[in-house]
Amino acid sequence: MQEYVVKVSDAEEGMRLDLLLSAFSKEENLGLSRTSVQELISKNRISVNGSSDIKPHYKVKKTDKIRISLEEKIKTSLQPEDIPLEVLYEDKDLAIINKPVGLVVHPAPGNREHTLVNALLFRFKDLSDINPQRPGIVHRLDKDTSGILVIAKNNSSHLKLAGQFADHSIKRKYAAIVKGRMEFDENVIEAPIARHVIKRENMAVDYSDKSRYAKTYYRTLKRFDDYSLLQLEPFTGRTHQLRVHLAFIGHPILGDKKYGKSNDFGRLALHAQSLGFIHPSSGKFVEFNSLLPHEFLAFTAAANKT
């Protein structure tokens, strides 16, 4: 058991307790996100002036005596697996992976093996463990989406990268082949998304109070007789956002068995092509790119001949 005592400065007086402690965690490199702090509060692992009967929104005072009690980190039961990985870049803080199509990013109930996480445990000595069941994972791609992922190798980097995803400052670009000829050269799709009311594993455009704001920019790169090659930039990161938005405007992504009906492509025609962000250590903007998969190139080359 480790215990930390937090003192409130003049500038911090009046802050929410969870915000104060998440900032303290960053300074001390404890690896606690704001959500983690809230969980500790609910488990009575944080006390103020000897009392653990507090709320995350409690406004701290300069005279408060705040204590955090942390247990030793839970060991994960995940097993390393020798699964080939294409590592595009690596330093002490992060790694850039070019994820192949068909590889699940992280384990889930009933599926503890053969995931990107298992491969990461084999390939890297150090990974962030803010979520012990998803070491290194800051964001994800669908199983059938290929392309660039950033992996965090320590908790400090993880929190800084996660913060950029949360405030939508990460620059992401995807390539997609969609059904039909796009009318516009470029446009923005703004349509809120929620879980489908009947098909609970699906998402859908939904204007109820249960939906969340979602925004996607697209540029038409090339038109064919029955298809279009697009560049997509999601401003938000909702589940299945790109797939739902393209299907909503009548141009589902080829190979999308969940939101489209087209079988003209042997896989989901969606590829995470570019990822740009502020490096957690250097503070400089960095950007990484992945070439289009050969399936995309072969398909567009064949479509050019028709």
Contact assessment for residue 31 and residue 159, using Cβ atoms and an 8 Å cutoff: yes
Contact assessment for residue 87 and residue 97, using Cβ atoms and an 8 Å cutoff: yes
Q: Report DSSP state, residue 232.
A: E
CA distances from 60 to 6, 47, 53, 65 (A): 11, 12, 14, 10
d(CA 175, CA 188): 16
Contact assessment for residue 159 and residue 165, using Cβ atoms and an 8 Å cutoff: no
In terms of Cα–Cα distance, which of 204, 206, 196 is closest to 252?
204
Beta strand 171-179 with 285-289 is unpaired
Q: Active site includes 256?
A: no
d(CA 290, CA 193): 28
d(CA 74, CA 299): 47
Place of tokens 């190979």: 255
CA distances from 136 to 110, 244, 245, 266, 274 (A): 21, 27, 29, 30, 19
Handedness of CA 99, 101, 102, 104 (dihedral sign): positive
The residues that bridge with 253 in the sheet, in sequence order, are 178
Place of tokens 């999601």: 234
Contact assessment for residue 155 and residue 93, using Cβ atoms and an 8 Å cutoff: no
CA 188 to chain centre: 21
Selecting among 93, 142, 144, 256, the annotated active-site residue is 142
Catalytic residue IDs: 142
